[in-house]
Structure 1
């Protein structure tokens, strides 16, 4: 119980709980949309989804400053690739929060003379670029892990043994591809923080892709991916050892 209280006392913890609830409602609405007996429930879920979204926008009012400070820190990284990827991700994330804050001000009537659709698209573009930068970092880290594994004599012996014990796989699939997949899976298995961050970013990517019309899916896919990434975010926030660093 103490861990739960500590988690919900964090603004990020509250935001992720709201986010999970928002996308759970969106997924439920999609699944129940054709059920005529559930129209009242669908209407309530849509209302709850809107409430969760509005609550999240309020929680994020100070996140622009956090993103700027994070960009300052990542600019000091000695690894040039990580420096570039993480700084770009934080800058675009900060721009996304600026757009999000303007949309919030528009929704509560603080500002009126803005194009809501244009600002919403700009927010999605910044979110998309931030995710691409984060995914590039994930791929870079995974490649580094795989290179380290290949240089490990004990692991090479384990991989050779795997290929010998599964000749039918090597015959059906190109042996080099089988070895690559084995290396990739073993690398991710030994570093769950990297695997979770990659999965979270891939799930999140479907949201701006759909919004920008780059890859049209549907509300069900967006809801499911948003829910999955939110649950991963909750797990990594509750268990810091599962959070990728830097």
Structure 2
């Protein structure tokens, strides 16, 4: 199992590069779609996008095992909130990968009798639940950072000084709101991993929301959000210290 996990983990970086390329192609197609003089280029980009999507499905084979192992690890976390959010998120990720693998098997003819629409909807639902739970974790981590900052006497003096130096802001904006925003920005500024993870999850959220019809977006917005999320994923692979833990 450990050796299999190592192989799967090595494919994550390649998957994110393929994902970034896929969404970059989709975004380019959306931008060039109305240009009749670029039909040949649009066709090439669409074929490249399809190839990237097919390649990613191969990379994701077996990722359900990785998600299940991650759920086992997070189930042992001492923090009950993190334990619940991360374990449930990983379980939903595993279910998403199972649905995705079944769709791939159906597309290549390994599974002949498969309701692709139903499996696709279920995959999007599990993906959405995983993202919502991951965002809940992000909000919880940010709230913990805010509480820690608020208890810091040195920081409280700095915040009071900031508010006193900006009387015109305090008159327009509710003082408590201004203080909270200052506290929030100062808390997350020193913790880029949680900021990157929150942006990534928010960007990814547009994909299942659009597929499920909960909140419709055009192809350009979905592609742009997917590209931003993929680039953040690549950055966290290159610089592991920017990956949120646990």
- TM-score w.r.t. the length of structure 1 is 0.95
For 2:64, the equivalent position in structure 1 comes to 64
1:217 deviates by 0.8
How far does the alpha carbon of each residue in 1:190-210 deviate from its partner, in whole angstroms, 9 at most, with x for none? 100011011100010011011
For 1:42, the equivalent position in structure 2 comes to 42
CA distance in 2, matches of 1:162, 1:23: 42
Q: Which is worse superposed, 31-40 or 166-175?
A: 166-175
CA distance in 1, matches of 2:26, 2:169: 40
For 1:17, the equivalent position in structure 2 comes to 17
CA distance in 1, matches of 2:241, 2:32: 37
Trace 1:83-232 onto structure 2 (pairs within 5 A).
Answer: 83-232=83-232
Q: Matched residue of 2:244: which SS?
A: coil
How far does the alpha carbon of each residue in 1:182-231 deviate from its partner, in whole angstroms, 9 at most, with x for none? 11111110100011011100010011011111111110010000000000
**Structure 2 gaps, min length 5:** 1-8
How far does the alpha carbon of each residue in 1:38-97 deviate from its partner, in whole angstroms, 9 at most, with x for none? 111111111111110110000010101001111011100111000000000000000000
1:10 deviates by 2.5
CA distance in 1, matches of 2:91, 2:200: 19
CA distance in 2, matches of 1:167, 1:53: 54
1:161 deviates by 1.3
CA distance in 2, matches of 1:226, 1:172: 37
CA distance in 1, matches of 2:57, 2:187: 37
**Structure 1 gaps, min length 5:** 1-8
For 1:6, the equivalent position in structure 2 comes to none
For 2:240, the equivalent position in structure 1 comes to 240
Q: Which is worse superposed, 143-152 or 167-176?
A: 167-176
How far does the alpha carbon of each residue in 1:137-159 deviate from its partner, in whole angstroms, 9 at most, with x for none? 00000000000000001111111
For 1:74, the equivalent position in structure 2 comes to 74
1:128 deviates by 0.2
CA distance in 2, matches of 1:174, 1:89: 36
1:170 deviates by 1.6
How far does the alpha carbon of each residue in 1:8-42 deviate from its partner, in whole angstroms, 9 at most, with x for none? x9211100000000011111111111111111111
Q: Matched residue of 2:106: which SS?
A: helix
For 1:3, the equivalent position in structure 2 comes to none
> How many residues were matched structurally?
238
CA distance in 2, matches of 1:98, 1:49: 22
Moved over 6 A (4+): none
